[in-house]
Amino acid sequence: MLLISVLAMGQTTDLDSIPASFDRYRTAQLQEKLFVHTDRTSYLAGEIAWFKIYDVDASFHKPMGVSAVAYVEILDRENKAVVQAKVKLQDGKGKGSLYLPVSLSSGGYRLRAYTRWMKNFSPEFFFEESINIINTLKEPDAILVAKELQYDVQFFPEGGNLVDGLTSKVGFRATDHSGNGVNFNGVILDEDNTVIAEFKPTKFGIGNFSFTPMKGVKYHAVLNLPAGRVLKENLPERFDQGVVMALNEVQNQIKVTVKSTAGVAGSVYLFVHSRNRVEYAGKGTLIDGLFTLEISKDRLKDGISHFTLFDVQGRPVCERLYFNDLPGNSLLVNASPDQQEYGLRKPVVVDISSATADLKPIAADLSISVYRADSLQMDPAVSVDIVNYLLLGSELAGTIEQPEYYFSGSVADRAVALDNLMLTHGWSRFKWDLVFKPFVPVYAPELEYHVITRKLVAADTKAPAVGVDVDFAIAGSRVQFYNGQSDANGMVNFYTKDLYGPHVAVLQTNSSSDSLYDFDLLSPFSDRFSSRSLPALRLPSELNHTLLVNSINMQALNMYHKKELNQMTALNLDSVSFFGKPGEYYLLDNYVRFPTIDEVLKEYVLAVGVRHRNGKPVMQVYSGVQNEGFFEERPLVLFDGVPVVNTDKIFNYDPLKVRSIEVVAKKYFYGPAIYGGIIKFNTYKNNMDNLELDPGSVVLDYEGLQLNREFYSPKYDAGVSHRLPDFRSLLYWSPDVSTDIRGKGTLNFYTSDRPGVYMGVIEGLGLNGIPGKKVFKFEVK
């Protein structure tokens, strides 16, 4: 039944084996999508960018709830990360903010997001969005200077093949160096320069023409581009014999037409799937080189469907993408402000509703941004949103120019534009060659905790250190201690729990031997990047006044409301140590103070015994069981939460700096290690207070999960001072907007001291996984 075996043997494929193999593939290669709703598309250096992450499964677009961490980056033109964050995901959603340093240069940047599991697949399908960052205090970089335009032209035969003697529709796309489509006039010429076909794009440099290549004739394309540029290009490779496939929409039916040359005959298999769900699987026969089939559009799900044709040997020979533009593919979201005009510092009430396409109320999880609609911001009508991204952008490789265009306008215009887009974006997220081989993931998903990975090598040979116990700990009153063991490649993973914010961490081998190792911290961020082009930022001179006003207002806001802008949400974390409540607890101030740790342990810490081995004192924990004595296994000794292997340093430590001692008098299994009890020393400062670390220890700064910043939104009826200026252009941001089972919700905020037209953008998901978006406006005078 394995399609892999069938292909290898070259035998006829049982029709049932293709869906079975496909189902096995989608089960093993679980696909998730991230969408990031940002508060704006353009920022000044020194501002804060706010965002919400939606993590959904690729099939039904419902919250995934598998990955616990998302990685968010802002990349410059050289794919260098200028800002990074690790964001907690819970129940398929996360929220955060990014401070944009004042050192950033003006330019176009790329915001991208992905999970650890997504790193197993192509970076083309990480979430990406272009944003502009403008630094009004620095001169623009040289990259902002316009260069001579470079053009790229590509041709895409429908189904993938050009075959002599068979007519095919050929899609084309012409773009400039920024990836934007260009207008042109083109012709197909034969070797005698006879015009065979004429073509020009309908939108965004994209279009198609019909073409029948003849055997033995050479063809080429000539394009007359803007500014008098002429470009000559060859057409794609042709075949003497083969199969072509065409899709045509006839009323409510999709007509599939398969044609072959005289030398190709026999059975073919048509397999149709959408977002990893099987829509159709059927067998046909080429009769006189022709096979046709009609499939009802109602049978297909909304969004992109893949029509794949297999030959008698089970090889995929043609593929065509089709977008089913169903009227019910969007959640109906409505947001109505209580007025259309407001004064300065006045309350705004927005009523929100959500419903299905047939107007039935439905609960929804949403996020909203309300900002001043100046000329710096991209028009929401042409930008990436949750609807066009989940249904279109997340399924295709490459850049889609103005994706919202394909979801607006008349049905006829959308149909033409979508068909051209399907022709020119070729084979997409799904690749059949992945079905034919076992899937071995490199990165396991972070199901509950953030995973920190380090590579351990021998200091002298640089060979991977195998089977070595390694500890990772952070000093403090709250125990954050994790351990692991290096694998055959020297890799060790630490599964951290609730590790938030910046910390100074201690990394060391859990061994008393003299072996030395080098540690290499592996970044959790991906070092692979998509091929999408990033347009350069070009600012018209008439924006100078807008930039000046925005810059002054931003600096005033940062000056007068610095505390509010940097207020973090308090974390409700479990303060109990991983070992729970200790069996014995000693607050040393309740006892007679002795001059040495040795005496402290011997006099009143009854569960700990001090023995001398090779002239050195060592600690052992009493098992508490009569006639069994002390544990033979080495105890885990923690000093302000950091493990100490060489306990000589503790015996030489000033006991007056130690506040308390905790003892777990039982054998303890933690990670790969077995400890003969636990002894925890706590100082008054909880920072190891000058205890000397082992020589092999590595001390490093590590940034955990991002702390949640609270959005500053003053309420002027709650005693807020009217003496301070309020120059907010972002009036409101909330990642936690929701409607109830009646599809109703309400939110409140206040206007600022800045008059102008304001725009609200609200988007999110209904409980049925259907995405929706709404834009509304009002004016402040």
Distance in angstroms (rounded) separating the CA atoms of residues 360 and 345: 36
The answer to whether 560 and 723 are in contact (CB under 8 A) is no
What pLDDT shows up at residue 344?
94
Q: Is residue 759 within 8 Å of residue 49, measured between CB atoms?
A: no
Q: Identify whether residues 179 and 96 lie together within a single domain.
A: no
pLDDT above 70 for 144:
no
pLDDT of 429? 57
Answer yes or no: do 124 and 216 share one domain: no
At 15 the pLDDT is 59
Asked, for residue 22, whether it belongs to a domain, the answer is no
CA separation (Å) from 685 to 562, 657, 688? 29, 8, 7
Q: Is residue 570 part of a domain?
A: no
Residue 13 has pLDDT above 70, yes or no: no
For residues 162 and 267, state if they share a domain: yes
DSSP characters for 501-524? SEEEEEEEES--S---EEEEEEPS
* Sign, CA torsion 547/549/554/556: positive
Average pLDDT over residues 237-257: 93
Do β-strands 636-639 and 107-114 pair in parallel, antiparallel, or remain unpaired? unpaired
**Residue 253 or residue 536, greater confidence:** 253
Nearest to 408 by CA among 56, 36, 773, 763: 773
From CA 375, how far away is CA 778, in angstroms rounded? 16
User: Which of 393, 423, 384 is closest to 125 using CA atoms?
Assistant: 393
Residues 317 and 173 grouped into a single domain: yes
CATH, residue 553: 2.60.40.1930
Q: How far is CA 451 from CA 63, 407, 454, 467, 572, in A?
A: 22, 39, 10, 19, 21
- In tens, the pLDDT along 635-651 reads 999 999 999 988 889 99
Query: Helix, strand, or coil here: 372?
Result: strand
Q: Is 232 contained in some domain?
A: yes
Domain ends where: 326, 351, 384?
326
| 579 within some domain | no
Cα–Cα distance between 728 and 712 in angstroms, integer?
A: 10
CB neighbours (10 Å) of residue 615? 5
Specify whether the CB–CB gap between 530 and 672 falls below 8 A: no
Pair 192, 299 in one domain? yes
Determine the pLDDT at residue 141: 57
Q: In what order do the strands lie in the sheet with 642-643?
A: 584-587, 658-670, 673-683, 636-639, 642-643
Answer yes or no: is 469 within a domain. no
- Whether 287 is in a domain gets the answer yes
Query: Is the model's pLDDT at 209 over the cut of 80?
Result: yes
Residue 421 lies in a domain: no
If asked whether residues 548 and 593 sit together in one domain, one would say no
Question: Domain holding 216: CATH number?
Answer: 2.60.40.10
Q: How far is C-alpha 698 from the geometric centre of its chain's CA atoms?
A: 31
Mean pLDDT, the chain, whole residue set? 89
50-100 pLDDT per residue, tens: 999 999 999 889 998 899 999 999 999 999 999 999 999 999 999 999 999
> In 158-265, at which residue ranges do the beta strands (DSSP E only) sit?
162-163, 168-175, 185-190, 195-199, 206-211, 219-224, 230-234, 238-239, 243-250, 253-260
Quick one: 546 and 643 in the same domain? no
- Percent of the chain past pLDDT 90, that is, above it, reads 64
Same domain, 74 and 223: no
Question: In percent, how much of the chain has pLDDT > 70?
Answer: 94
Q: Which amino acid is at 576?
A: V
Kindly give the pairing relationship between strand 42-44 and strand 127-134.
Answer: parallel
With contact defined as beta carbons under 8 Å apart, do 703 and 86 qualify?
yes
Which of 678, 703, 728 finishes a domain? 703
When pLDDT is averaged across residues 161-189 and rounded to a whole number, the result is 92
183 and 322 fall within a common domain:
yes
| Closest to 449 (Cα-Cα) out of 29, 96, 90 | 90
CATH number assigned to the domain comprising residue 636: 2.170.130
Q: pLDDT at position 754, please? A: 95
178 and 246 within one domain: yes
Q: Which domain holds residue 675?
A: 584-703
pLDDT digits (tens, 9 = 90+) for 512-549: 555 688 888 899 999 999 988 787 777 777 788 888 89
Same structural domain, 175 and 140: no
Domain count, the chain: 3
Domain boundary among the residues 681, 703, 725 is at 703
Lowest mean per-residue pLDDT among 35-39, 239-243, 408-412, 609-613? 408-412
| pLDDT number for residue 544 | 82
Q: Is 161 in the same domain as 87?
A: no
In a domain, 158, yes or no: yes
Q: What is the pLDDT of residues 361-380, one digit of tens each?
A: 999 999 999 999 988 888 88
